[in-house]
């Protein structure tokens, strides 16, 4: 399952090997508006994906306010009529209505719910959830824990095999809205502000990746990017994960350049096809690792901007993150190989 954030890359990401794509509509998904598609683009994307016989999921995975629930259901109804195959949600209050109105829709529970034990999965199954996205931090427990969770009956498991990791558990981090929040509602009552809560489609200020100082008993104990954790790299256990029968392997990246997402998906697909061919498998792993380094470099630039820039940051960020990466970087990446 691969992310889409740009209509022009839909075919490319399918060519790279994605079987399912997922994306959000501006204002209705977890990512801020700048990383999501316009409604009319998403409708076009549905047509493109369906014409190629693949699946498309709508990400509605932010937490809504009470007065937004009805509108969220209207949005799902509209996209359901156009042919989406599933929807990814975080808000438990949506489940009952979705199951009642759209029983055919595949209902996935977002990583934001941090479902991490078997009883959690049983609870969500009892609500009507078809598949649960496991939290990215589960890498601490790795395959053994995922194995236990995959034994819960009648509920699928979806895992991120590539993406960022955060020091706080998914959906349990309120650092960004503590730092800066300016709630603004549009004429329909929807909170559309990029400066809202990161759980409610506001911008994540990546506080957990910034420079900070740790004071203990009045003195500085350590300094640096203390809250930062490395990237999520579960792909190293790909063979075991496949043998566990995981329903969906997912790549994070609606906020990344489509170029990177496409390359990553292509590498992972190659790895999946060459699980028994060690030579080809290892070659693809090294290619993937250099892509991850490239992604980290872009993220460092992103962090630099966040730490140094002023209120004009949104325009700059869009420039950096929504366009395909520049020619120099593609060249560097090719030379590196």
Partner 1 sequence: MKGKMFELNTSVFTLKELKNTDISSYDAIYLGDSFCRQYKDNLSENCKDLKTAIRIVKDKGKKVFVSTYAVPRNADLKGVEKTLFNAAKSGADAVEIQNYGVLRISRREFPELPVHIGSLANIYTVATALKLKEDGVKRIKGNYELCLDELAELNNSAGLETEVLLHGKMILGISEECLTKKWSNKKTKACQDFCRRNNYLSSKKLVLNNFGRVTLSGKDMCTIEHLPLILDKGFRFFRIESFRESRDYAAQVGNIYRNAIIEALESRKYSYKKYLLGLKNFSPIGFCNGYYFARSGQDYIHSKK
Q: Which residues bind partner 1 (CB under 8 A)?
A: 63-66, 69, 90-97, 112-124, 126-127, 137, 140-141, 145, 148-149, 167-169, 171-175, 177-183, 197, 199-200, 207-208, 210-218, 221-222, 226-227, 307
For the chain, report the end-to-end CA distance as a whole number of angstroms.
Answer: 26
**Shortest spacing between CB 110 and partner 1, in angstroms:** 11
Q: Which is nearer to partner 1, 56 or 152 (CB)?
A: 152
Check the CA dihedral 196-198-199-202 and report its sign.
Answer: positive
- Shortest distance, position 100 Cβ to partner 1, whole Å: 13
Nearest to residue 207, comparing CAs of 307, 318, 297, 319? 307
Cα–Cα distance between 279 and 212 in angstroms, integer? Answer: 43
Residue number with CB closer to partner 1 (227 or 313): 227
List the 156-162 sheet strands across, edge first.
2-3, 20-23, 55-60, 86-89, 106-109, 131-133, 156-162, 248-251
Burial of 58 (0-12, 13-18, 19+ CB in 10 A): buried
Residues near 15 by Cβ (< 8 Å), separated by ≥ 6?
262
Nearer to partner 1, 216 or 279 (CB): 216
Closest approach of Cβ 189 to partner 1, in Å?
A: 12
Beta bridge partners of 251: 162
Residue 123: DSSP 8-state: H
Length of the chain in terms of residues written: 337
194 versus 226: smaller Cβ distance to partner 1: 226
Q: How far is the CB of 227 from partner 1 (least distance, A)?
A: 7
Structure tokens at 95: 């489940």
- Residue 261: CB minimum distance to partner 1, A: 26
The answer to whether 205 and 175 are in contact (CB under 8 A) is yes
CB 303, min distance to partner 1, A: 12
**Which CB sits closer to partner 1, 211 or 282?**
211
**Do 310 and 329 contact (CB within 8 A), yes or no?**
no
Contact predicate 159/246, CB 8 Å: yes
132 touches 121 (CB < 8 A): yes
Q: How far apart are CA 205 and CA 212, in angstroms?
A: 14
For residue 81, the minimal CB distance to partner 1 (Å) is 23
**Least Å from the CB of residue 273 to partner 1:** 32
Strand 55-60 vs strand 156-162: parallel, antiparallel, or unpaired?
unpaired
Q: Which is nearer to partner 1, 94 or 272 (CB)?
A: 94
221 versus 296: smaller Cβ distance to partner 1: 221
* Shortest reach from residue 210's CB to partner 1, in Å: 5
Give the three-class secondary structure for 22.
strand
Closer to partner 1 at the Cβ: 174 or 336?
174
Q: Kindly tell me which of 122 and 319 has the beta carbon lying closer to partner 1.
A: 122
Question: Which single residue is written with the structure tokens 């508006």?
Answer: 33
């Amino acid at each position: 399952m691969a992310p889409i954030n740009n209509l022009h890359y839909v075919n490319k990401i399918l060519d790279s090997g994605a079987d399912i794509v997922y994306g959000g509509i501006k204002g209705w998904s977890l990512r801020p508006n700048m990383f999501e598609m316009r409604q009319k683009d998403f409708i076009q994307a549905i047509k493109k994906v369906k014409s190629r016989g693949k699946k498309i999921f709508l990400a509605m995975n932010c937490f809504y306010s009470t007065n937004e629930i009805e509108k969220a259901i209207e949005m799902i109804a509209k996209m359901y009529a156009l042919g989406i195959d599933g929807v990814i949600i975080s808000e438990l209050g949506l489940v009952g209505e979705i199951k009642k109105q759209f029983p055919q829709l595949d209902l996935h529970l977002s990583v934001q719910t941090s479902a991490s034990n078997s009883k959690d999965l049983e609870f969500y199954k009892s609500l009507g959830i078809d598949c649960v996205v496991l939290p990215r931090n589960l890498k601490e427990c790795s395959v053994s824990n995922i194995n236990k969770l995959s034994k819960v009956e009648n509920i699928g498991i979806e895992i991120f095999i590539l993406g960022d990791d955060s020091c706080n558990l998914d959906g349990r981090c309120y650092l960004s809205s503590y730092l800066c929040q300016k709630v603004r509602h549009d004429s329909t009552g929807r909170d559309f502000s990029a400066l809202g809560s990161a759980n409610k489609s506001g911008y994540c200020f990546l506080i957990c990746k910034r420079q900070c100082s740790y004071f203990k008993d009045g003195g500085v104990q350590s300094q640096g990017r203390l809250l930062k954790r490395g990237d999520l790299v579960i792909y190293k256990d790909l063979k075991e994960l496949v043998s566990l029968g995981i329903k969906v392997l997912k790549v994070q990246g609606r906020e990344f350049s489509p170029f990177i997402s496409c390359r990553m998906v292509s590498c992972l697909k190659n790895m999946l096809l060459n699980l028994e061919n060690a030579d080809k498998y290892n070659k693809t792993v090294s290619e993937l690792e250099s892509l991850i380094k490239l992604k980290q470099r872009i993220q460092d630039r992103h962090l630099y901007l966040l730490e140094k820039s002023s209120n004009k940051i949104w325009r700059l960020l869009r420039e950096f993150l929504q366009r395909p990466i520049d020619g120099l970087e593609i060249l560097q990446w090719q030379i590196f190989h």
